[in-house]
Amino acid sequence: MKNLIYKTILLGTVMCVSACVELEQINPNFQTEESFWKTKQDFYQGLIGAYDHLQNDEMYSGKIQQTFNLLSDEGFTGELGEPLNLATFTSDMNNEFLTSLWYDFYTLIARSYEVIERGENSNVTGLQGMIGEAKFLVAFAYYHLINAYGDGIAYVDGIQVASDRPRKAEPGEMWAFTEALLNEAIPVLPTSYSTSDFGRATRGAAQSLLAKVFMQQGDYAAAEPILKQIVESGYVLNADYEANFTEELTTGNKEVVFQVNFVHNGPQEETDNAWYFRINTPGPSSIGIWADQLASEFSIRSYLVEADMDGNPDPRMNASIFTEYTDKTLYGQTWAWWEANTSEIVTGASFYKFNENEAVLDEINNGTGYVQWKNGGKDMIIIRYADILLLYAEALNENGKTSEAHEYVNEVRARSNMNDLEVTAGRELNQAEFGEQIKHERLVELCGEYLRFFDLKRWGEYGPKVAEDFTVPATGDVIARDPIFENFRIDQDELFPIPLDELDLNPNLLPQNPGW
């Protein structure tokens, strides 16, 4: 699928949003829905249309990462208006960051159900795997919708027509439905694909998402055996941490469990976003300045509490953020140059991970000096094996197996030349200490990968508690948190508001989420 570039083709008409605001015709030359879904290749093209939506500029071309990073303790912004309102918990219900995820994830659900429903009612053979992929994509969408909007969202379990008005789900119903979709998908999904199809949902991706679904509900007992299966299934950590975030190691990356593919330097006339230039950090003045996503001071301080085995700073910082403590260059310029020539790095750091540094620098040195909007190409890893190892350690600890849990944290730390946890601490941590330590371990390993929002929710800490200082059990260091979460509006900011036009069109979705 890397070579097919996730084209949006031949999907006929599908619903854009759950409340049926409008019908979206994907291909203007399309004849009729009934004349299309006749061969296995037709379903494959329809499935590519579902995957394609993940590349949308409202999705993994940058907006999803920006939304969840700004709502966590890892990120901040140098922009004004809606990004700043999002990051400071001063948004009103019309903030586009709070509404766009609803429409985009329900679009993904709609496109996926075109494959599921038509496939299950088709005489075409050999569709089970593709139907399983589409069910994974629906579950993936619901995982994000539930975490963002709560479980009182629109219950959509098939193709929608303009007259449909989906009902509001009952408490717990969407979690159960998501689990069911994944349990149906797992047995029919392959463990891997050919190189040309790298990036499609595998059995490991579906198992990982199912484990995350259980963990977000606090069901660590159910998550543990699933995570164990993934750990024993053949995934490995790359020897080089930074290799996960370069264009050179994308197809065939054995640490990838699921990713969204982007292709380097695609033709500019393309209307999809397969080559979106994902600029989330400041850029040289010759091509303009952006500061959409900046790393928080808390992120910087978290990397500085522990040196590696050679006495050097945690090497993951160098690959994750651009700051005075790292030796990277951003678009050919050192930190000292940026500090002397621009005030745009307002918090002292910007995210470096997944940044299109090479594409920008090449254009500056060899091109026009202006980077085309879709001239990037780094793949966006959504689930990687290090995340799974840390989740497994967390589940083991929650299930009273703290000694065993140390092994999997140490595996992640060893890749980055960090001492074993018990060496740093001088002893094995107890269960309560380990539970706190995992919060630190996930930050320094996964910083800027948009997972922190979900972590904070799972730990029951998404709220004013995040403004409190954090103690790292293994070192005893107390890290000052950023005070922004003091603005958190209790009984409001826990959930995004359901978009107003959805409620206007579909009163079945009332009541609105609390506080909005």
d(CA 47, CA 11): 9
Whether the bond into 511 is cis, omega within 30 of 0:
yes
d(CA 86, CA 109): 25
The dihedral formed by the CA atoms of 87, 90, 95 and 99, expressed in degrees to the nearest 10:
80
> 231 with 82, same domain?
no
Task: Report yes or no on 271 lying in a domain.
Answer: no
Residue whose pair of structure tokens reads 């050999």 in the numeric block: 126
Task: Report yes or no on 276 lying in a domain.
Answer: no
DSSP 87: H
Kindly report which listed range (8-17, 76-85, 109-118, 191-200) carries the lowest average pLDDT score: 8-17
> 43 with 116, same domain?
yes
The percentage of residues in the chain with a pLDDT greater than 90, rounded to a whole number, is 66
> 26 with 137, same domain?
yes
Q: Can you tell me the mean pLDDT for 138-145?
A: 98
> 368 with 309, same domain?
yes
pLDDT at 382 over 80: yes
Quick one: pLDDT at residue 291?
Answer: 65
Half-sphere exposure of 389 (CA within 13 A, CB side): 23
d(CA 389, CA 412): 7
Task: Report yes or no on 390 lying in a domain.
Answer: yes
Specify whether the backbone of 450 is left (phi greater than 0), alpha (psi in -120 to 50) or beta.
left
Q: Can you tell me the mean pLDDT for 442-459?
A: 96
> 96 with 218, same domain?
no
Quick one: pLDDT at residue 206?
Answer: 98
Which CATH number belongs to the domain containing residue 78 in this structure?
A: 1.25.40.390
The percentage of residues in the chain with a pLDDT greater than 70, rounded to a whole number, is 82
Q: Can you tell me the mean pLDDT for 261-279?
A: 52
pLDDT at 507 over 50: yes
> 78 with 22, same domain?
yes
> 182 with 94, same domain?
yes
86 near 95, Cβ under 8 Å? yes
d(CA 442, CA 509): 35
pLDDT at 476 over 70: yes
Helices (H), 399-451: 402-415, 421-425, 431-446
Q: Can you tell me the mean pLDDT for 483-493?
A: 95
Task: Report yes or no on 359 lying in a domain.
Answer: yes
Task: Report yes or no on 204 lying in a domain.
Answer: yes
CA distances to 94, 392, 474 from 430, rounded to whole Å, are 45, 17, 11
pLDDT at 138 over 90: yes
Q: Can you tell me the mean pLDDT for 160-189?
A: 96
pLDDT at 292 over 70: yes
> 313 with 418, same domain?
yes
d(CA 254, CA 237): 7
Please choose, from the candidates 250, 255, 213, the residue with its C-alpha nearest in 3D space to the C-alpha of residue 230. Answer: 255
Most confident of 77-91, 326-340, 443-457: 443-457
- Grade residue 371 by pLDDT with cuts at 50, 70 and 90: low
Task: Report yes or no on 277 lying in a domain.
Answer: no
d(CA 144, CA 167): 19
> 449 with 438, same domain?
yes
**Domain total for the chain?**
2
Quick one: pLDDT at residue 14?
Answer: 33
Q: Can you tell me the mean pLDDT for 221-246?
A: 95
> 159 with 249, same domain?
no
Beta-strand runs (E) in 45-177: 75-76
Task: Report yes or no on 207 lying in a domain.
Answer: yes
Quick one: pLDDT at residue 342?
Answer: 64
- pLDDT per position as a tens digit, 413-436: 999 999 999 999 999 999 999 999
d(CA 393, CA 231): 11
> 294 with 414, same domain?
yes
The per-residue pLDDT of the chain, averaged, comes to 85
Run of H or E residues at 350: strand 349-351
pLDDT at 373 over 80: no
CA distances to 253, 448, 489 from 249, rounded to whole Å, are 6, 19, 42
d(CA 131, CA 431): 41
Residue whose pair of structure tokens reads 């089970």 in the numeric block: 128
- Which residues span the domain enclosing 79? 1-189+489-516
> 396 with 353, same domain?
yes
The C-alpha angle with vertex 268 and arms to 263 and 273, in degrees rounded to 5, equals 50
428 near 422, Cβ under 8 Å? yes
User: 134 versus 58: which is more confidently predicted?
Assistant: 134
Residues 6+ apart with CB under 8 A from 28: none
**Torsion over CA: 244, 249, 254, 259 (sign):** positive
Task: Report yes or no on 278 lying in a domain.
Answer: no
- Grade residue 402 by pLDDT with cuts at 50, 70 and 90: very high
Kindly report which listed range (32-46, 114-128, 200-214, 484-498) carries the lowest average pLDDT score: 32-46
Q: Which amino acid is at 42?
A: D
